Structure 1
Amino acid sequence: MVGHSPPPFFKRGPAPLAKLVFFLVLSLALLVSDLKLRYLDAFRQGLSVLAYPLQMAAATPADFVRNASDYFASLVRLQIENKELKSKQLKEGERLLRLEQLEQENRHLRTLLEARERQPVKSTVAEIMYTAKDPFSRKVILDKGAQAGIEAGQAVVDDAGVVGQITRVFPMQSELTLLTDKDQAIPVMVVRSGLRAVLFGSGDGLMELRYLAANADVQPGDKIVT
């Protein structure tokens, strides 16, 4: 075996422990040098530029899922808020409508009370229940009758003036024929001229001054009282 030494490639190098110590010392030296001299900053920046597209590509699916989740969550939240706002708006609308109705009713009642104070005669407050079934007449049914002292022929007024006349009386109800009925008439006076006449119902919601002389002093806009 003399003269057969191993080739240079297979020659043993330094011991593993020596290699470990060497590389540890080299690493510490590079770290200390980088901390003081910052000579690896440009290298790191170059690596970050090269790695940026890969980072974006890796983060895109997660960002898409997160954004989609946020979008649908926001959409559901907006739908819920919109539904709540609509419900609240409906409730507020109903409340305002009730308040308006109460205000109108209060104004009407105050007007009736003032009219009652102006008229020192005995009166009974009644409410219209429904319209009479006869389509060719102008009649309504009141919720007060003979038990409340209602009698046929009595006049019925509201806050604006005469409404009509009681034509039939029942124990608990009574029939009111309005002035606009074709069979109703009432004596009136033209305020401006003092002319006295009779006002007749026409049956279609209007009234007419009939049997006037050709030279009667009546003009459009005249106020007529009874």
Structure 2
Amino acid sequence: MASHDHQTPPFFKRGLPPAARLTIYLALSFSLLVADLRLHYLETLRQALSVLTYPLQIAAATPADFVSNASDYFSGLISVQRENKRLKTQQLNMASQVLFTEQLQRENIELRGLLAMQASLKVRSTAAEIIFTARDPFSRKVILNKGGQQDIEPGSPVVDPLGVIGQVTRVFPLHAEVTLLSDKEQAIPVIVERSGLRAVMFGTGNGLMELKFLAANAEVKPGDRILTSGLDGVFAPGLPVATVLKVTRDSAESFARILCRPTGSVERNGPVLVLSRTGPRPQRPADDDSIDPRRASGGRIRQNKAEAPASAPTPASAPAPAQSVAPPAAASPARKEP
């Protein structure tokens, strides 16, 4: 009975006190640290543990990395969109500046050409600008921003830096109407620069011009320059007019068909020069009454013949009209009667 009542001493039930355990653990940890610092015997173990725990580290860091990467992506996307919008606005501004610069360069080239043209001409000129095209769809006419108040006169030639483009046909106080060379009603005396042939250039109404009244065997070929001849006293001689584009020769026709392309910017707007006349205004032709009846038209001669019986001519003047009207064939039998 006494053996059954034996119990373990309290010391062995409780074990070491907590303070003693702490002291032992601290001493052991300090010893391991010093030994690892001196001998590095835990390096292999440390590397093995890092390899084994790397997937766990990745798995633990994935949510945080995902949130960080998503935040960086959306913030970067917003930044890129803002930058893209800013660059597009800058591109539009630069494009408008480039277009404006190109327009200024073209205007500068045209104005320099006008100054060179004005310096080469010996006549008075007035700078003007084409503001719009006339409303008539069947004609080639433009309107200038200068008129009678700027001493613009009807019939004045109009040129641009490349050559002749037309002639002033109507003048108003503040603007003037110019008929272009390509108009069907417009004609200009010209000369072929290479061969020296003189002719008349007519508009075709479709932006081209035609050199008329040249023989089928005339010395003209594509590429020849056509200049003003100055024979009309309106256009100064030597101004570029057109370039021969196509020459059609037909043995059945007396004249060649010669199409030309205007040298000046006939169909475009821009600065121009209005030139003064090279000579005085042509005088109006004399009436038919002052023309010799023998050189008058056939209708006038017939009219005089019809009026002869009604009048009472003198015997000295009566035979004169008969001699001027009677054909030679009618006079030959009269000489054979004796």
The TM-score, its normalising length taken from structure 2, stands at: 0.61
Displacement of 1:164: 0.9
Q: Which amino acid aligns with 1:51?
A: T
Residue matched to 1:81: 83
In 2: Cα distance, 1:15 partner to 1:180 partner: 123
CA, structure 1 residues 46+100, in 2 after alignment: closer, same or farther (shift >3 Å)? same
Judged with a 3 Å threshold, the aligned counterparts in structure 2 of structure 1 residues 221 and 63 are, in CA distance, closer, same or farther, namely same
SS at match of 1:78: helix
Q: Deviation per CA, 1:33-73: give whole Å up to 9, x if none.
A: 34334444444334333332222211111011111111222
State the SS of the aligned residue for 1:12. Answer: helix
Q: Which residue of 1 aligns with 2:11?
A: 12
Following the alignment from structure 1 to structure 2, what is the Cα–Cα distance between the partners of residues 191 and 24?
Answer: 117
Residue matched to 2:181: 179
Stretch moving more, 41-50 or 200-209:
41-50
Aligned residues: 225
Using the alignment, how far apart are the partners of 1:102 and 1:24 within structure 2? Answer: 89
| Residue 54 (structure 1) aligns with | 56
1:224 corresponding residue in structure 2: 226
Q: How does 1:36-47 map onto structure 2 within 5 Å?
A: 36-47=38-49
- Name the counterpart of 1:161: 163
Q: Which residue of 2 aligns with 1:139?
A: 141
Q: CA deviation at 1:213?
A: 2.4
CA separation of 1:211/1:61 partners in 2, compared to 1, >3 Å: closer, same or farther? same
Per-residue CA shift, 1:66-92, capped at 9, x if unaligned?
111112222222222222222222222
* Residue type at the aligned position of 1:7: Q
2:100 equivalent in structure 1: 98
Instruction: Determine the C-alpha separation between the residues in 2 that align with 1:211 and 1:136.
Output: 25
Counterpart residue number, 2:300: none
Cα-to-partner distance string for 1:168-220 (whole Å, 9 max, x where unaligned): 11111111001110000000111222111111111111111122223322222
SS at the partner of 1:125?
strand
Q: Which runs of 5+ in 1 are unaligned?
A: none
Cα distance in 1 for partners of 2:145, 2:78 equals: 54
Give, in angstroms, the shift of residue 6 of structure 1: 4.2
Partner in structure 1 of residue 331 of structure 2: none
Question: Alignment RMSD, CA only?
Answer: 2.3
The CA deviation at 1:3 is: 7.6
Change (3 A) 1:143 1:48: same
Q: Secondary structure at the match of 2:196?
A: coil
Matches of 1:19 and 1:177 in 2, distance apart?
119
Matches within 5 A, 1:201-220: 201-220=203-222
User: Which consecutive unaligned segments of at least 5 residues does structure 2 have?
Assistant: 229-338
Whole-Å separation in 2 of the counterparts to 1:98 and 1:217: 46
* Letter in structure 2 aligned against 1:78: V
Q: What's the offset of the Cα at 1:222?
A: 1.8
Residue identity matched to 1:189: I
Q: Which moved more, 1:124-133 or 1:206-215?
A: 206-215
2:192 alignment counterpart: 190
Q: Structure 1-normalised TM-score?
A: 0.88
1:18–1:187 CA distance, 2 compared to 1 (3 A): closer
Quote the offset at 1:154 in angstroms: 1.2
Q: Which has the higher relative contact order, 1 or 2, with Cα contacts under 8 A spaced 6 or more apart?
A: 2
Amino acid at match of 2:118: R
**Cα distance in 2 for residues equivalent to 1:64 and 1:208:** 79
Deviation at 1:100, TM superposition (A): 1.5
State the percentage of identical aligned residues. 59
- Alignment-mate amino acid for residue 178 of structure 1: L
One-letter code aligned to 2:126: T
